[in-house]
């Protein structure tokens, strides 16, 4: 009996082995899953995050249809080197990583800081991105992005005092629905039990926060230069990267699609994963005219 390509590949992020590749003097750690393709979907992760911070409900759904690659940014998790001081440098790192893997074009799925890096990637390296998913993020120079440090440290203290994971406060509303969604999200992140990544250091976290502040205080980029399909999503009460900045992105990127989920925060796509995952899959698998 013959087997399809889907039968011969890993589509579970919890089981995807961690690999490494050298690029631009850095050894990047990454995981890949799903059917091999000429154009993969590369996942750009959030502030202080490693390979173990992707929601398996979203990444697995996409990997059933697409070739997925997630990686640790320079100096974070199992990737070597010094954490870049600017978002521009991080975008150049991502470009070097993608080219080292042998890809001339990719689709990008990004969240939060990852979305900022993805925006700089399409501006600094035109033509390498075909489709772009921007979630929980905002444009360069966006109003109040530079206030993320105060919000972040405040919620980290609140989480410490309650014995919670900071993401429960940073990503979700503190009502009954949000608290439940937050705990379920944290539980999903722990489903991988073997070959887990190294946590980001405090210094790496601080460097990335400063890079976000610089990004928020700098002149806007001309995002209209990107002509490919764009999907933008967020919750309606994002305290880290204000929800209005998703609408700002939508205005700046002609033809983009925007989804705002109700009664949810920065992690709206994780709270509403059952609705969002199929939308993301549809966007990333459809053939554009």
pLDDT tens-digit map of 41-72: 999 999 999 999 999 999 999 999 999 999 99
What CATH code is assigned to 5-285? Answer: 3.40.50.1820
Alpha-carbon distance 89 to 45, whole Å?
Answer: 15
Q: Which of 203, 221, 74, 210 is nearest to 148 (CA)?
A: 210
Mean pLDDT of 194-222: 96
Mean pLDDT of 111-117: 98
Res. 9 pLDDT band, cuts 50 70 90: confident
Q: If you ran DSSP here, which 8-state letter would residue 147 be given?
A: G
Mean pLDDT of 181-199: 97
Q: What is the pLDDT of residue 289?
A: 66
Alpha-carbon distance 42 to 71, whole Å?
Answer: 8
Residue 76 · residue 200 · CB < 8 Å:
yes
Q: Give the 3-state secondary structure of 227-274.
A: CCCEEEEEECCCCCCCCHHHHHHHHHCCCCEEEEECCCCCCHHHHCHH
Contacts of 251 (CB under 8 A, 6+ apart): none
Helix 56-63 to helix 273-285 angle (10° resolution) is 30
Q: Which residue has the tokens 């974070």?
A: 76
Tell me the pLDDT of the chain averaged across its residues. Answer: 95
Q: What is the pLDDT of residue 79?
A: 98
Q: pTM here?
A: 0.95
pLDDT of 184 above 70: yes
Alpha-carbon distance 239 to 74, whole Å?
Answer: 26
pLDDT tens-digit map of 132-147: 999 999 999 999 999 9
Q: What is the pLDDT of residue 2?
A: 32
Alpha-carbon distance 273 to 244, whole Å?
Answer: 21
Q: Is 64 helix (H, G, I), strand (E, B) or coil?
A: coil
pLDDT of 288 above 90: no
Res. 6 pLDDT band, cuts 50 70 90: very low
Res. 1 pLDDT band, cuts 50 70 90: very low
Q: What is the pLDDT of residue 276?
A: 98
Q: What percent of the chain has pLDDT over 70?
A: 97
Helices (H) and strands (E) in the chain, counts: 10, 8
pLDDT of 8 above 90: no
Mean pLDDT of 104-131: 98
Radius of gyration of the chain (CA): 18
Res. 4 pLDDT band, cuts 50 70 90: very low
Q: What is the pLDDT of residue 186?
A: 97
Q: Are strands 18-23 and 26-33 parallel, antiparallel or unpaired?
A: antiparallel
Altogether, the residues listed in the chain come to a count of 289
Q: Are strands 257-261 and 26-33 parallel, antiparallel or unpaired?
A: unpaired
Mean pLDDT of 67-79: 98
Mean pLDDT of 24-51: 97
Residue 116 · residue 215 · CB < 8 Å:
yes
């Amino acid at each position: 009996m013959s087997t399809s390509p889907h039968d011969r590949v890993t589509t579970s992020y919890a089981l995807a082995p961690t690999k490494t590749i050298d690029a631009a003097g850095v050894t990047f750690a990454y995981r890949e899953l799903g059917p091999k393709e000429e154009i993969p979907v590369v996942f750009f992760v959030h502030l202080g995050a490693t390979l173990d911070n992707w929601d398996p409900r979203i990444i697995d759904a996409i990997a059933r249809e697409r070739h997925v690659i997630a990686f640790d940014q320079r100096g974070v998790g199992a990737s070597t080197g010094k954490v870049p001081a600017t978002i521009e440098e991080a975008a150049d790192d991502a470009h070097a990583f993608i080219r080292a893997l042998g890809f001339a074009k990719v689709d990008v799925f990004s969240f939060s800081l990852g979305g900022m890096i993805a925006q700089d990637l399409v501006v600094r390296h035109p033509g390498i991105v075909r489709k772009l998913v921007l979630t929980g993020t905002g444009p360069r120079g966006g109003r109040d992005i530079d206030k993320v440090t105060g919000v972040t440290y405040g919620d980290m203290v609140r989480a410490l005092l309650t014995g919670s994971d900071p993401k429960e406060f940073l990503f979700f509303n503190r009502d009954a629905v949000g608290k439940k969604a937050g705990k379920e999200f944290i539980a999903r992140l722990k489903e991988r039990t073997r070959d887990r990544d190294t946590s980001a250091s405090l210094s790496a976290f601080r460097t990335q926060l400063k890079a976000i502040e610089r990004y928020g205080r700098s002149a806007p980029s001309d995002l209209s230069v990107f002509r490919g399909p764009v999907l933008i999503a967020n919750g309606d009460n994002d305290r880290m990267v204000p929800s209005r900045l998703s609408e700002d992105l939508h205005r700046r990127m002609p033809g983009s699609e925007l989804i705002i989920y109700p009664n949810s925060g920065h992690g709206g796509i994780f709270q509403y994963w059952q609705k969002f995952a199929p939308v993301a899959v549809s966007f990333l698998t459809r053939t554009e005219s």
